[in-house]
Amino acid sequence: MTGFNTRAIHAGQEPDPATGDVVVPLHLATTFKQDGVGGLRGGYEYSRSGNPTRTALQEALASLEQGSTGLAFASGLAAEDTLLRTVCEPGSHVVLGGDAYGGTFRLISRVVSRWGVEHTPVDLNDADALRAAIRPTTRVIWCETPTNPLLNVADIARLAEVAHDAGALLVVDNTFASPYLQQPLPLGADVVVHSTTKYLGGHSDVVGGALVVSDPGLGEQLTFSQNAMGAVSGPLSDWLVLRGIKTLGVRMDRHQANAARIAEHLAAHPAVSAVLYPGLPDHPGHEIAAKQMSGFGGMLSFRLAGGEEAALRVCERARVFTLAESLGGVESLIEHPARMTHASAAGSPLEVPADLVRLSVGIEDVEDLLADLDQALR
């Protein structure tokens, strides 16, 4: 197998055989001419069912995550919804991390639950609590690592053993790490989920999602559901994500270099009560992250000694860091999870601390980022 960066540039993206294009063409057609009834050229008939640009992206995703099948969707939540409705049925049960992404928790607790699927949030690092949460009807153990926004780390290989002993699938949301830093399928996971809006796209100009699976049979089921449910990505979105993937490795190197400097700086700041970043040696998940990741990523959160008021003030005073939701773009973002990305978890077991600030560290000059945080914290 060729190296990661080589695959990011070439997997699914060979020069066009007709024209020699070195960039995958943007195929905007919704329908494709047939050579006689049922005579499909390249297997394409209608763009919901298949589109050459989407095919290129899906092949690239499968290669980067070392899976058998990659599937692209209109958003990360569309990918999650398609997965859950494929592998669960009324009466099924899902175990999810106790600090899962708020949008995932909202989907499971307020949408999928109406279909008769039950759920239990649990600390995935508490082995006894995890095993107690599993039922005979458990079909999925849902893991994010690192988590959003608390940056907790779970041991993927251990969770895979627990899930498979219970006859369940291990699903890993790999959005924070990206496939450049972490590949859950070789560690035993069954499904990888991505919001391709984030690091894979990398430029805050596309919304998309993805699933990558190791088992071809599950891949066939999900391919059927992708077409039958119809929450597919559009060709322009596919093209933009492909463009972003080409520079994923070099971007992630800069993201995490900047994040590490900022984490160390904030850890010594008197206004900061805690820094949540797996790259810090005193982070409780540092050893696991070092074992299963090739780097610690560009996301970090920190808590303010002055509480919620101080956290809001820092978010509003930042200038180089843009106050905005989302993450993984080249520009640095700052947000208040309790009132922004994770507001849907308020009052639930997944509620996040009010004094927490989350940073998506971009690729700007790190001295400018440090200076901006210092003036916002004054």
Q: What is the pLDDT of residues 15-74, one digit of tens each?
A: 988 899 999 999 999 999 999 999 999 999 999 999 999 999 999 999 999 999 999 999
143 and 188 share a domain?
yes
Q: Per-residue pLDDT for 91 more than 90? A: yes
Cα 309 to Cα 78: distance, rounded to the nearest angstrom: 35
317 and 207 share a domain?
no
Mean pLDDT of 137-149: 97
CATH number at residue 279: 3.90.1150.10
130 and 197 share a domain?
yes
Q: Is 33 a catalytic residue?
A: no
Q: Which residues pair with 300 in a beta bridge?
A: 359
Interhelix angle 307-317/366-377, nearest 10 degrees: 130
CATH number at residue 57: 3.40.640.10
90 and 237 share a domain?
yes
344 and 215 share a domain?
no
Q: pLDDT averaged over the chain?
A: 97
Q: Is 277 a catalytic residue?
A: no
290 and 345 share a domain?
yes
Residue 1 C-beta-side C-alpha neighbours within 13 Å: 11
259 and 113 share a domain?
no
Q: Which residues of 275-298 are buried (b: 16+ CB within 10 A; e: fewer)?
A: bbbbbbeebebbebbeebbebbbb
Do the Cβ atoms of 6 and 14 come closer than 8 Å?
Answer: no
Residue 348 burial (CB count, 10 A): 13
Q: Is 198 a catalytic residue?
A: yes
340 and 258 share a domain?
yes
Confidence band of 378 (pLDDT split at 50, 70, 90): very high
254 and 368 share a domain?
yes
Predicted local distance difference test score (pLDDT) of residue 49: 97
Q: Per-residue pLDDT for 315 more than 90? A: yes
Domain count, the chain: 2
Predicted local distance difference test score (pLDDT) of residue 271: 98
Q: Is 46 a catalytic residue?
A: no
Percent of the chain clearing pLDDT 70 (strictly above): 100
Do the Cβ atoms of 346 and 337 come closer than 8 Å?
Answer: no
Domain membership of residue 89 as a residue range: 4-246
Confidence band of 172 (pLDDT split at 50, 70, 90): very high
Query: Which one of 81, 99, 155, 173 is the catalytic residue?
Result: 173
The residue among 211, 246, 281 that closes a domain is 246
The residue among 189, 219, 246 that closes a domain is 246
Q: Per-residue pLDDT for 344 more than 90? A: no
Residue 110 burial (CB count, 10 A): 10
343 and 319 share a domain?
yes
Predicted model pTM: 0.96
The residue among 202, 231, 246 that closes a domain is 246
315 and 178 share a domain?
no
Residues 6 or more apart whose Cβ sits within 8 Å of residue 1: 7
